Structure 1
Amino acid sequence: MDMRNLSELMPMHLMVDRAGVMVSRGKTLAKVLGRASRLEDALIPADNLGHRIRFEELFSQLGGGKRVFLQLRHHRDVSLRGHGLHVSPDIAMLNLGFGIYLSAAVQKFGLTDSDFPPSDLAMEFLFLHEANRAALLELSRINTSLEGARQSAQILSITDPLTGLLNRRGFDVVFSRAFDARARNPFALVHLDLDHFKQVNDRFGHAAGDRVLVEVASVLASGVRSGDRVCRIGGDEFLILIFSERPKEDSMTVCTRMIHQIMSAKTCPCRITASMGVAVSDSRRVSRQQHLYEMADAALYQAKLAGKGRVVLWADPGS
């Protein structure tokens, strides 16, 4: 047979003699093996477990339907597999394929449909593989996008759109967790209400009122530590969680400083003051979350009665 016809008919064939010299190779295999003249210059014989074997052992085992495994010596991410038989005592023919390494081989050696015989479905399988990979990538992109949208929606659901602080829903989640852990991580609950805020809206309009709320929110957010939480529960009312081993002392210090900063805010159209009520989580009366809310609210009411623009710490009547 003319070897050129054999190369076209079997583009992945390899004829090799007993000494390991490659007598003939198909056109596609020629692209892969380059100018190597001996089999072991370009290929590493292996058994079905991937263990290296000598060429002599491979040559002697050809025939009987036993599979052949060859790893590319200079491209370890591509291997060949197939079968072979002896065409004479000293010449063997192997018919090889890429198997699961088809995609890597096509990319590495620039193979096209013309490098495979018409009866070979290798390229069809490759196209199917690439289409499947593209579909999986698109599905992954969609899932990532959906997850991002879900997280954004979740964040928006617990965020006050005007100030960027937690809203009441988000604060309730944080407060519930804090209350359950109050024995090992004590905190103070602060209830803040701006004094005479309605007059700002009446005199300067709601846009001016919104600017005041944003300014106050900025003062509160910058006045606490990263582990503390600030919430706008609606209108001009805010709640703050201040975590500390000394919740009474530290919360009073932080709140007093915030009141002075709110009074000196320069973006406000008029002088703004704030009243604050503080209740600490280690009080003897605290057995439910609602109790702590009621205590902070009662302390805020006392701050209002005492002249506004001040902070009052709730105290146990029996203490």
Structure 2
Amino acid sequence: MIVRWLNNLPLRIKLVLPTWFLMTAGVVLLGFAIENVAEDKMEQSLIGRTKILTNAAAVNLTAALAFDDKQTALEQLEALRVDPDLIGAKVRTTNDANFASVMELPPDCRSNGNAIICSDTQFERVKKPIVLGEEILGFIEVYVSRAAIEEERHFLVGYLTAGTSLLSLLALVFAQLLHRLVSHPLASLHQSMSSMLRLGVFGRAIPVKHNDELGQLTACFNDLVSNLSERDYQLKQTLNQLENKSQYIGEVLDTMEHGVMVIAPGDVVTYFNPAAEYLLRQVNCSPRNLPQLLQTFSPASRVHAISHAIDNHQPMKGIELRHTLTGKVFQISTQPMLAAQHSLVQFEDVTEQREAEQRRKLAELIFDKSQDATLVMSRDLTIKTQNAACIDAFGVHYSWRTLSTDSESYLSFAELKTLLTDGTMEWHRTLVGHGGIEMPCQVVARTLTNHRGSVEGFVITIVDLSTEMEIQRLNYIANHDALTGLANRAHALEKLTQDHDKERDMHILFIDLDGFKSVNDQFGHQVGDELLKVVAERMKASVSRRDFVSRLSGDEFLIALYGNAPVDAIANRLLEKLSDEIVINNCKPKVSASIGVRYWSSNDPSSLAQVIEQADKAMYDAKANGKNRYSLAANLAVQMEEV
């Protein structure tokens, strides 16, 4: 309401009042500033002068206080009366006793103990200690009146008031002059415009009454009027060009691949291009009947929204409708036209695009949900995208060079040639996973080719083999002796039983070391452990790679020699190798072996436990016969005799 009232004020008031008010306010503020500065200066001068007198008196009063000479102290205080603003001075001892004082109190002031109280008069108090060496003898207090300052301030306020009134009057005169300089040319321009409205544009030129900026503006209007005739001719030429352009636009619409229709109020189709007729004929629809056309599409809510937008002359973009009979998908947009409330409807067949997009989303879903780390690279090894499994395993990378810092992870020229030729390549490398953890991986690379068959990139699938290798490691630990690396008892029993079930003939050698306990007692268990490792290596070196060597427990070993060939040569070689000199940490432990041999043919119904037991008994026979020898089990001896 106030803003509207201010906007409706005459220009004279808008110019005069703000100008006068701002100038007057500026003068008043300047006067206040001058008055405050002057008062501060006079106050500082008064206090400074008083401090000088007080300091001088404090120095002169040292002797008086030191010798308790009150008369001398009083004379020193009397000397302070030369200051016309002095109203009192006191000398007090350190115990706050009055030593000497002089008073010239105004009528409204009185002394109250050690203080002075005034009802109207304002004063300043300056206090200074009286010091002899480092000892404080007492204090001097000087009271000075601010009456002179107040009197000077009153005079200054009077002068400032008079000056402000005069300057305010001058500001009002200046505002009136400013209003006259601005409003009179505007009034002249208003009169000229009114004349133009009354007499018409082509009646006569607007008279120029002032040769200023507004007069120049009026002259410009006169030039405009003189040029209207020429502009009218140019306008006709432009209309002809627009007509030609309209014909050109019609030709462009006719050649567009998108369907275009113009809908008039009442759902009347006033125009459709050939593309619209072609697209609608494919779904057995006519472009001339819009209501019937819309009934063949779904969903009904979107059809209703498009119909509502056309009827209400509203824009709508990117609405997709599906033809209920053919299943084709059309993307429809409506745009209001300024002329006659018409609407422009554009549509295109996006069936193939949506099917391609659906296939792409499905491929992206498969790509992202894959349990294996998968990434897509360009030819320069720049990583374009990674699936979630790849990011979880290796983090976000932008180049294969940062993902695989090991030079062995790069393909050689021959391998790269094979990849480009065959389209696929597989290799095993150790990659650095998330957090710097090294991961054994299987890397499978496939090429991405364009429609011309040129390789544009690669799809890399990385399979983490850590779990598989960990299972292999645990399986190895579960089936092998931790000290010697040989198969343990459980693995030996399982494997030999399976081999016998596969109808394989074999000789079972039960081996026990002679003198191993003495080695442990003489050299310690560390040397004994190293001895077992050497024995295991010599056993493996004494048999073929297809034979099986295992450690049952302690210094007992089990060897399976596959086939039915005689084992004498191998047994003697074992005895010779195991009895050879062994040096461990400058120690020379001496051991030999006693071997029990049991032949286990493929058709032998005996269990492995029975076979081992019989081989064990044969081993004890070898020990009983002097050690460092082998002995055949009873059934094997019988078989050999039969042979």
Change (3 A) 1:17 1:287: farther
CA–CA distance in 2 between the matches of 1:177 and 1:259?
Answer: 28
Q: Which of the residues 199, 219, 227 maps onto 2:546? A: 227
Q: Which of the residues 607, 623, 626 maps onto 1:304? A: 623
CA–CA distance in 2 between the matches of 1:206 and 1:233?
Answer: 18
Larger radius of gyration: 2
CA–CA distance in 2 between the matches of 1:157 and 1:221?
Answer: 20
Give identity over the alignment, percent: 27
* Residues 124-143 of structure 1 deviation map (CA, whole Å, 9 limit, x = unaligned): xx6x7765344566699999
Measure how far apart 1:198 and its partner are.
0.9
CA–CA distance in 2 between the matches of 1:189 and 1:17?
Answer: 95
Partner residue of 1:159?
480
Measure how far apart 1:304 and its partner are.
0.8
Gaps of 5+ in 1: 1-15, 25-56, 69-81, 105-125
Measure how far apart 1:257 and its partner are.
1.0
Query: Does 1:217 pair with 2:536?
Result: yes
Correspondence 1:79-90 to 2 at 5 A = 82-83=329-330
Measure how far apart 1:284 and its partner are.
9.2
Query: Does 1:61 pair with 2:282?
Result: yes
Alignment size in residue pairs = 228
Q: CA RMSD in A?
A: 3.9
Correspondence 1:44-193 to 2 at 5 A = 61-62=282-283, 65=323, 66-67=326-327, 82-83=329-330, 93-95=348-350, 96-97=353-354, 98-102=357-361, 132-133=369-370, 134=387, 145-181=466-502, 184-193=503-512
Partner residue of 2:215?
none
Query: Does 1:263 pair with 2:587?
Result: no
Measure how far apart 1:270 and its partner are.
2.7
Change (3 A) 1:198 1:103: same
CA–CA distance in 1 between the matches of 2:471 and 2:609?
Answer: 31
CA–CA distance in 2 between the matches of 1:285 and 1:132?
Answer: 55
SS at structure 2 position matched to 1:299? helix
CA–CA distance in 2 between the matches of 1:58 and 1:275?
Answer: 97
CA–CA distance in 2 between the matches of 1:240 and 1:144?
Answer: 33
SS at structure 2 position matched to 1:163? coil
TM-score by length of 1: 0.59
Query: Does 1:279 pair with 2:598?
Result: yes
SS at structure 2 position matched to 1:164? coil
CA–CA distance in 2 between the matches of 1:129 and 1:313?
Answer: 65
Measure how far apart 1:175 and its partner are.
2.0
Measure how far apart 1:287 and its partner are.
2.3
- C-alpha contact (below 8 Å) 1:167/1:231 kept by paired residues: yes
Gaps of 5+ in 2: 1-251, 260-277, 286-295, 297-322, 335-345, 371-386, 394-460
- C-alpha contact (below 8 Å) 2:515/2:590 kept by paired residues: no
Which structure exhibits the higher relative contact order, with contacts defined as CA atoms closer than 8 Å and separated by 6 or more residues?
A: 1
CA–CA distance in 1 between the matches of 2:279 and 2:509?
Answer: 82
Change (3 A) 1:58 1:229: farther
SS at structure 2 position matched to 1:259? helix
Change (3 A) 1:200 1:295: same
CA–CA distance in 1 between the matches of 2:609 and 2:576?
Answer: 29
Q: Which of the residues 527, 550, 560 maps onto 1:241? A: 560
* Residues 232-283 of structure 1 deviation map (CA, whole Å, 9 limit, x = unaligned): 111111001111132xx0x322221122112225435233211111000139
* Residues 174-228 of structure 1 deviation map (CA, whole Å, 9 limit, x = unaligned): 12213333xx310011000111111111111111111110001011122223332
Query: Does 1:290 pair with 2:609?
Result: yes
Query: Does 1:254 pair with 2:570?
Result: yes
- C-alpha contact (below 8 Å) 2:493/2:608 kept by paired residues: no
The one-letter code matched in structure 1 to 2:473 is: S
The one-letter code matched in structure 1 to 2:479 is: I
- C-alpha contact (below 8 Å) 1:211/1:267 kept by paired residues: no
Partner residue of 2:633?
314
Change (3 A) 1:18 1:212: farther
SS at structure 1 position matched to 2:521? helix
Query: Does 1:199 pair with 2:522?
Result: no
CA–CA distance in 2 between the matches of 1:209 and 1:129?
Answer: 58
Change (3 A) 1:22 1:101: same
The one-letter code matched in structure 2 to 1:191 is: F
TM-score by length of 2: 0.31
CA–CA distance in 2 between the matches of 1:229 and 1:58?
Answer: 79
SS at structure 1 position matched to 2:634? coil
- C-alpha contact (below 8 Å) 1:67/1:83 kept by paired residues: no
Partner residue of 1:123?
none
- C-alpha contact (below 8 Å) 2:479/2:490 kept by paired residues: yes
CA–CA distance in 1 between the matches of 2:593 and 2:279?
Answer: 89
CA–CA distance in 1 between the matches of 2:538 and 2:254?
Answer: 87
The one-letter code matched in structure 2 to 1:152 is: R
Considering fraction of residues, name the structure with more helix: 2
Partner residue of 1:4?
none
